[in-house]
Structure 1
Amino acid sequence: MEDDGFFLPHEIISSILKRLPVKSLLRFRCVCKDWNDLFKTSLFIKEHVHHSSHHRGPSLLLQCGYSTFSMLDSDKKTLLPLSAPSVDPPVDMIDVIGSSYGLVCLQIKNRGSLILWNPSTRDVQYVPRTKNTRWYKNCHTGFGFSRVVNDYKIVRIYNFHKGVEVEVYSLSSGSWKQIEFGNVLKGGKFNGRFAATDEAIYWIVYGNQIDVLSFDIATEAFTLIPGSNIHWNVKLMTYENKLALLSNTELWVMEEATSGGSEQRWNKTKLIGNPNFLGFHPLTIWKNEVIYTYQPVGIYLFNVTTNKLKEFLISRENGRIMSAFNYVESIVSFGNKNSWISA
């Protein structure tokens, strides 16, 4: 009796593979040409990122000092060392600008140069410099991904005496362009880091009240979102892929209108009153936990659902905790523009 062999349909194989970590997929590229080609398709990358985000959940990328990185796994809750990106010439002072859909935007300190980095594949893409790069200390940088246009973008807003200039870098085109800013701020001033959702990049603006400047990644248009009477001592974040403002005691989330209109409104969803967080510095919101630093060598995870605080100590050898970002594994490649996540 002949053995007809074992056969699985392509759809089932793809469904199995998209559940694997990137480390396994990189090894499996050598199994056969079909698998290697599959891992480069936009549909597979989209499904893999979706599964990583919604089933395994994002990891927590920690920057400890200017050249040391670690990843806190979403399942094991163990801290794993992460090799810094390999750049030429080597540098030892890097700032993390932001993380979006598997890519991390970095800035080389004292140069203003930008790098895109995939920690899972260790791929690095250098971002071209512009005429304004030397003024990087006077600019506000944001980074995000839009499903609408299937593109990663970096936006830099420069505050010059003569006015505001804006440059936008598109990974799909590999180039910068200048766009109009207009009279959006009306005298307000930027402060703090940006936050990004699937649709837009945001910055806090201080004027007569707190407002939020929004940059639509797809349309490249700026709008100003009123902050109303929200407390002044807040930090801009995202919560469940929505714009959020976090103070020491309250979490405000921007909600869509539910009465048929298109207006948005701030909703105080969580009260963070116990324990007393005086002196705690919020870094980010990771799933349903607010990540704080208090001591230089550790982080505190406060669960906004259970109101429980948990300490996670980190070795002093890693250095001071500087920043934390949500990171979702992806096999997105800089060399294959058609392999990015599609809408």
Structure 2
Amino acid sequence: MELPHGLIEDILEKLPVKSLLRFKSVSTQWKSKIESAYFKKKQLLYSQLQDPDILITNRFEGEDKEHVTRMFTIGSSDLIKLPNVCPVPMPIPLENKKSSICYTYSVCGCDGMICYYNYYTCIYLVNPNTRWLRSVPQAGHQEAALKVMNKMGTWTEDNDGILCNLGFGKDKFTGRYKLVWLYNSFEFTLSNTTVCEVYDFNNTNTWRYVTASPVRIFDEQAPVHLDGSLYWFTDEYITDTKVLSFDIHTEKFHMIAEAPFFEVGEKEIIMCTLNNRLCVSQKEWPKQEIWSLNNSDMTWEKIYSLDLQTDYDWFTDYLPPPCTYSPDVVPCAIPVAVLKNKKKTLVLYYPRAKNPNLLMYDPESRSYDLCFVRDYIVHSCESSFSCFPSLMSIV
């Protein structure tokens, strides 16, 4: 019996990406439909109404030095290997042979695609569900950072200032995707405060410089993408830390709000998105509070308060003798997602803890549940974020 065309489409958009990839073999008509831009957008919109997958990225310490992304779905776990794409061996040797650069990766994501990049050599876009892959030319920041490292001749903690994080987002009016690299200029002996490079897909496919921010950014925090904009903290050593936004459509910077922190100093701060709202968090022992920005009046609302001291066992690998509570051994929790289908349970990630690794926090009972246990050797480039399965790619 033939089903109506619209009904078939409604059924297909609700299926897992893995099934849709197989169903492209059913007929030429189904293949054309599943590969169409219209269907990909429709499938993504439905996916975003469900609970996201949690991606944990890490390089396994094996003989092959493989770079691996583990995709964790609530209830099950699958291992997804990203292509070992960069031809440069690890570590990257410096020209003067005195030292080498740790060959680490960072990751950012948008619409089910992830940007998988090294600070010095390469940038790749990957859809972990479809295995689609695209390379991006080296940015000016990467070339400059490598030159600075070669000039210094060795790796020290002072070099951390050149390890800025890349932003990946979408113009909500045109649908075009862009990469944005905003970094402080002091480390590169430039006269301006910051430098901003933009890579525009579906247009020139080249890196170009745009008017940058007049204030320094806190470059240890990766930029966050939400609703057509990227967000950074201003430099943490400024008295009043603010939130800086970059409109991907107009390519203009704006100071949108002051962070709800009484002090910043050396304390750990986090920026993320939860329930399609911009959120910030700060660990100030013995609490870690999470705030959400109300876009209507640009005010902050406290949505979670974690008691790090009471729940000490969940946040550390062991109790240091003589079993005293020490703020230094408790990592700052990274909010990853709020699960719609589990009473607004908050998923938290702890990058410096060996076990547990990923937790679910129930705000009603103020209780925790172990969500994921790491079964591999930890590497410094590990990160975690939410991702909605999609068929999206960039031509």
Alignment of 1:286 onto 2:284: no
The answer to whether the Cα contact below 8 Å between 2:292 and 2:301 also exists between their aligned partners in 1 is yes
**SS in structure 2 at match of 1:63:** strand
Match of 2:291 among 252, 270, 275: 252
Match of 2:10 among 12, 15, 23: 15
Counterparts of 2:3 and 2:38, CA distance in 1: 19
Alignment of 1:145 onto 2:170: yes
Report how far residue 80 of structure 1 moved: 1.5
Moved more, 13-22 or 83-92: 83-92
Moved more, 123-132 or 18-27: 123-132
Provide the alpha-carbon RMSD of the alignment.
2.4
**Corresponding residue of 2:391:** 331
Counterparts of 2:81 and 2:373, CA distance in 1: 17
Counterparts of 1:329 and 1:229, CA distance in 2: 33
- Unpaired segments of 5 or more residues in structure 2? 61-66, 91-102, 146-161, 316-326, 339-344
Counterparts of 1:299 and 1:188, CA distance in 2: 29
**Corresponding residue of 2:108:** 98
CA gap of 1:318–1:70, structure 2 versus 1, over 3 A, is farther
Report how far residue 145 of structure 1 moved: 2.4
Alignment of 1:166 onto 2:208: no
Counterparts of 1:148 and 1:91, CA distance in 2: 41
Structure with higher RCO (Cα < 8 A, 6+ apart): 1
Report how far residue 138 of structure 1 moved: 5.4
Counterparts of 2:8 and 2:107, CA distance in 1: 36
**Corresponding residue of 1:85:** 83
Higher strand share: 1
Counterparts of 1:130 and 1:253, CA distance in 2: 33
Counterparts of 1:246 and 1:229, CA distance in 2: 9
Letter in 2 for 1:25: L
Letter in 1 for 2:346: E
The answer to whether the Cα contact below 8 Å between 1:210 and 1:226 also exists between their aligned partners in 2 is no
The answer to whether the Cα contact below 8 Å between 2:275 and 2:337 also exists between their aligned partners in 1 is no
- Percent sequence identity is 24
Moved more, 131-140 or 9-18: 131-140
The answer to whether the Cα contact below 8 Å between 1:272 and 1:304 also exists between their aligned partners in 2 is no
CA offset digits 1:270-312 (Å, max 9, x no partner): 2223534550332332224242325324314142533221224
**SS in structure 1 at match of 2:35:** coil
The answer to whether the Cα contact below 8 Å between 1:91 and 1:108 also exists between their aligned partners in 2 is no
CA gap of 1:131–1:189, structure 2 versus 1, over 3 A, is closer
CA gap of 1:238–1:313, structure 2 versus 1, over 3 A, is closer
- Unpaired segments of 5 or more residues in structure 1? 1-5, 258-262, 336-343
The answer to whether the Cα contact below 8 Å between 1:252 and 1:270 also exists between their aligned partners in 2 is yes
**Corresponding residue of 2:96:** none
Counterparts of 2:33 and 2:217, CA distance in 1: 49
After TM superposition, which residue ranges in structure 1, 4 or more long, deviate above 6 angstroms? none
**Corresponding residue of 2:324:** none
The answer to whether the Cα contact below 8 Å between 1:300 and 1:309 also exists between their aligned partners in 2 is no
**SS in structure 2 at match of 1:15:** helix
**Corresponding residue of 1:340:** none
CA gap of 1:315–1:169, structure 2 versus 1, over 3 A, is same
User: How do 1:178-327 residues align onto structure 2 when only pairs under 5 Å count?
Assistant: 178-183=209-214, 185=215, 189-205=218-234, 206=236, 207-231=238-262, 232=264, 233=267, 234-248=269-283, 249-257=288-296, 263-273=297-307, 275-276=311-312, 278=327, 279-287=330-338, 288-293=345-350, 295-303=353-361, 305-306=363-364, 307-317=366-376, 319-320=378-379, 322-327=382-387
Counterparts of 1:158 and 1:300, CA distance in 2: 30
**Corresponding residue of 1:59:** 53
